[in-house]
Amino acid sequence: MSEKPVEYSGPERVFSGVQPSGSLHLGNYLGALKKFVDLQDAHDCVYCIVDLHAVTVWQDPKELAKQTRHIAAAFLAAGVDPDKAIIYPQAQVRAHSELAWYFNCVARIGWLNRMTQFKDKAGKNSEKMSVGLYDYPVLQAADILAFKATHVPVGEDQKQHLELSRDIAAKFNNDFDAPGFFPLPEPLIKGPGARVMSLKDGSSKMSKSDPSDLSRINLTDEADKIAKKIRKAKTDPEPIPAEMDGLEGRPEVANLVGIYAALSGQSDQDVLNTYAGEGFGVFKPALADLCVEKIAPITESMNRYLADPAEIDRILAKGAEAAAAIADPIVSDVRDIMGFWKA
Ligand code: TYM
């Protein structure tokens, strides 16, 4: 007799994380930060600066804390409000590492072997990578589930990691006869900006690790740099099409149209309706102006926050306390469920 699994019936919670390695780009903004802001009014939101993930590749100890403040400044400048959402650095909340260990004993090696992001990052050098880089998706599952988060706003590149989190949650609930203890977290991916591509190659995503700075728009880029990068973005000699199927086989053009749509809050088709038949001599300057209009205020605000690191530290310390107050009791319940000795 197979019983239907009992569904999670606890409160909804939003959780997401961003690594403090390298500066943030337009893909991070549209795929994650913008969604963080959109969700904070109506939901209980926890946004983590995932420094434990960052150290899966070597990070300069003199830079790590600075990088963490930099991401905090980007969250705040993008509009995340610390009175509405919790913002904190992952390493300050021990529940992440502890739950990751328990999940290491739940997740299967075969599941991790299928993770494409590890294969992409490690390339031919997988033997030389840290164990942490391989195990990274298990820590990500622990991040989410230490808060019993039900919804996770991320870009499309995180889809497979989210599926793994669901598998780990389901296997834990099943293995320890704790039906409905963990929710099966839902990724919030859909919408414009879920997959922003490189400005130089429409087949690879915009990424901090791309060696060419011209491939991405950083949240720290000045207006003239943004305009230059858009001017130099790869396109083709054809005009902007009138219909979506005219974007097929033109990934770079589709990407620029998608960026315009995401920044202006329109659909791709709306953008085509406005620019159909125009060449890039018209479209690129319009896109550059829009990018500057949306990014420049964030850059300025980030600089204001970074000029006051004590204020950032105060926000992060308060956030860490609030985060631990949620996660610690959940991980304590996990210990009980697994049957560890306690006094
Ligand atoms: P990270 O730090 O690489 O990226 C942060 C967020 O930005 C999104 N993103 C993009 N979205 C659209 N287009 C792009 N080109 C693009 N590049 C990045 C990512 O999808 C992500 O949402 N593993 C995660 C961090 C993490 C996490 C978590 C996320 C750790 N624990 C728990 C959610 C829940 C990462 O490396 O993101």
* pLDDT tens profile 23-47: 899 999 999 999 999 999 999 999 9
318 catalytic? Reply is no
Residue 182 and residue 129: Cα distance in Å, rounded? Answer: 31
What are the two backbone dihedrals, phi and then psi, of residue 60, each rounded to the nearest 5 degrees? -70, 120
Whether 18 lines ligand 1, by a CB cut-off of 6 Å, is yes
> Which run of H or E residues covers position 15?
strand 14-18
Instruction: Please work out whether the CB of residue 100 comes within 6 Å of at least one atom of ligand 1.
Output: no
Confidence grade of residue 22 (pLDDT, cut at 50, 70, 90): confident
Rg of the Cα atoms in the chain: 21
Token pair of 318 as six digits: 């308060």
Q: Which atom of ligand 1 is nearest to the CA of 28?
A: 7
Neighbours of 180 (CB within 10 A): 13
The DSSP 8-state label assigned to residue 244 in this structure reads G
- What kind and span of H or E run contains 153? strand 151-153
CA 234 to chain centre: 25
Q: For residue 197, which of 265, 117, 119, 252 has the smallest C-alpha distance?
A: 252
pLDDT for the residue 191: 83
DSSP strand pairing (85-89 vs 151-153) = unpaired
Report whether residue 17 contacts ligand 1, using a CB cutoff of 6 Å. Answer: yes
Give residue-wise pLDDT tens across range 107-117. 999 999 999 99
What average pLDDT score do residues 53-78 get? 97
Question: Measuring CA to CA, which residue among 253, 190, 159 is closest to residue 30?
Answer: 190
- Asked whether 25 and 219 are in contact (CB, 8 A), the reply is yes
Q: Average pLDDT for residues 207-232, to the nearest whole number? A: 95
Q: Considering only CA atoms, which residue is closest to atom 26 of ligand 1? A: 17
Q: Which residues fall within 8 angstroms of residue 131, CB to CB, at 6 or more apart? A: none
**Is 205 a residue of the active site?**
yes
Instruction: Tell me, yes or no, if 34 is annotated catalytic.
Output: no
Per-residue pLDDT at 5 exceeds 80: no
Average pLDDT in the 59-67 region? 97
Confidence (pTM) = 0.96
User: pLDDT at position 3, please?
Assistant: 57
How many angstroms separate the Cα of 135 from the Cα of each of 69, 187, 334, 338? 25, 20, 20, 21
pLDDT at 201: 96
Mean pLDDT of 247-252: 96
Nearest partner of 263 among 241, 288, 294, judged by Cα: 294
On the question of pLDDT at 1 being above 70, the answer is no
Could you tell me the distance, in angstroms and rounded to a whole number, from the CA of residue 32 to the centre of ligand 1?
7
Measuring CA to CA, which residue among 170, 152, 160 is closest to residue 115?
Answer: 160
What average pLDDT does this structure show over 165-185?
98
3-state class of 328 per DSSP? helix
Question: Which residue in 204, 199, 202 sits closest to 157, CA to CA?
Answer: 204
Q: Which domains does the chain have, with CATH numbers?
A: 14-195+309-338 (3.40.50.620), 213-303 (1.10.240.10)
